[in-house]
Amino acid sequence: MVHKRKSNSLSTVSANPVGGDASSPTTRRAKAAGRSITVKDIAAEVGVSITTVSNVLLGKEGTYSPETGEKVKECARRLGYRRNNLARSLVRQRSQTLGVLLEERFNFSHPENQYFVGVLQGFLQEAARRRYQVKIVMQANPPSDEIISAVDDASIDGLAAVVLSPDNALFGWFDHARLPVVLVGCETRSPKASSVDVDDYESLGELIEQAWSLGHRRFALVTGENEHGALSERERAFSAHVGGRRLDGGAPLVLRCDMEGHKADEILRELAKLSAAKRPTILVCANDLIAVSIVRQASAHGLRVPEDFSVTGFDGFAVGDWCTPRLATVRQPLSRIGAKAAEILIESLENPGAAPIQHAVLPGRLLLRESLAAPSGASA
């Protein structure tokens, strides 16, 4: 790899922020012993007690004289003191750290995982804002008992569990955990754990109302396998919102695809067989992947979107941006979900008075794009 041209020196070298005064006997001794500078070192160097050092470092105004304060701060700076937060957490009985539990199927290259990732981002940001650190715990599949040790080891003060599987083995534990837990994006509700989720039901209602007002009267639902509980709420919402309306041709079609849209081809084949008068004017898909697969493969079956039928997704992932026509869908407020999860944890940690359990339901946002249009010949 000789040809790899990399600059061999650092482009930025700021003043050495640690290590401090290398010539101080204290520093030298500490370094030689391979240990860090501690409050004890500072106390010795300045000639005060460690109590005073601690008080100064914690900024407990009034408990020390200005001169002492100056001397201690200067010394800390000079010696390159860094607080050991392990020790601090141990005595304070809180680590100022939040945990995020992820299932291992967190395979990022997959669009679905924008969910994890968007949530994580919001969580990280809110945690940072409130001065909490964040630890990530991956739950292996199948889950081992170790996972509880990883989560219940005093290293985190609260846990956001981003568990999409309704049958996650940890649900029993969540319920008895002695740290606050917030369940993110799963259907399950527990009286002992908080939750943050999106109002799929409401959003799907808005989507269908929008389609209706455009003139759609023949709806079909394209959903995934039944086994996977994740889409069942969307299916229920579809039935409920479409059910009450006077449709053309009776009950809406329900087409079974798979979560990833691999079977879109089969579904399109069936649809192509239908006469235009029988064919649904809109395919409401239970997630973006299904919808995008339909959109992409429609032309191969001689079907045009949205001329022959409209297609809508659900999730608002980036794939919908990258297909033609762009996908109309419902965007989940991912980073807000994450931020809300962090907020709930921090609130329950810092306001012992507040309600310890909160169930937040966030609204999705309709993204009206080209894959949704009035049906051909509609008299909306």
Partner DNA sequence: CTGAAAGCGCTTACAG
Site residues (vs DNA, CB under 7 A): 35-40, 47-52, 54-55, 57-58, 62-68, 81-84, 87-88, 90-93, 154
Burial 159-188 (b: 16+ CB within 10 A, else e): bbbbbbbeebebbebbeebebbbbbbbbeb
- Of the ranges 67-75, 168-176, 272-280, 364-372, which one interacts with a copy of itself (CB under 8 A)? 168-176
Taking the C-alpha atoms of residue 224 and residue 257, their distance in angstroms, rounded to an integer, is 5
Closer by beta carbon to a copy of itself, 280 or else 316: 316
Say which entry of a copy of itself, DNA, none residue 59 contacts (CB below 5 to 8 A, set by partner kind): none
Closer by beta carbon to a copy of itself, 44 or else 169: 169
In DSSP terms, 195 is beta-bridged to 183, 359
Closer by beta carbon to a copy of itself, 203 or else 310: 203
Minimum CB separation of residue 153 from DNA in Å reads 9
Say which entry of a copy of itself, DNA, none residue 50 contacts (CB below 5 to 8 A, set by partner kind): DNA
Task: Judge whether 364 and 200 are in contact, CB under 8 Å.
Answer: yes
By the rule CB under 8 A, 240 interacts with a copy of itself: yes
Taking the C-alpha atoms of residue 207 and residue 331, their distance in angstroms, rounded to an integer, is 11
Say which entry of DNA, a copy of itself, none residue 256 contacts (CB below 5 to 8 A, set by partner kind): none
By the rule CB under 8 A, 16 interacts with a copy of itself: yes
Say which entry of DNA, a copy of itself, none residue 239 contacts (CB below 5 to 8 A, set by partner kind): none
Say which entry of a copy of itself, DNA, none residue 13 contacts (CB below 5 to 8 A, set by partner kind): a copy of itself
Task: Judge whether 183 and 361 are in contact, CB under 8 Å.
Answer: no
118, 280, 306, 313: which one binds a copy of itself (CB under 8 A): 118
Strands 158-162 and 194-198: unpaired
Task: Tell me if the bond preceding 142 is cis, omega within 30° of 0.
Answer: yes
Site of tokens 């329900």: 254
Q: Where is 143: in which H helix or E strand?
A: none
Minimum CB separation of residue 350 from a copy of itself in Å reads 16
- The three-class DSSP label of residue 61 is coil
By the rule CB under 8 A, 246 interacts with a copy of itself: no
By the rule CB under 8 A, 314 interacts with a copy of itself: no
CA distances from 317 to 108, 290, 331 (A): 13, 12, 7
Minimum CB separation of residue 90 from DNA in Å reads 4
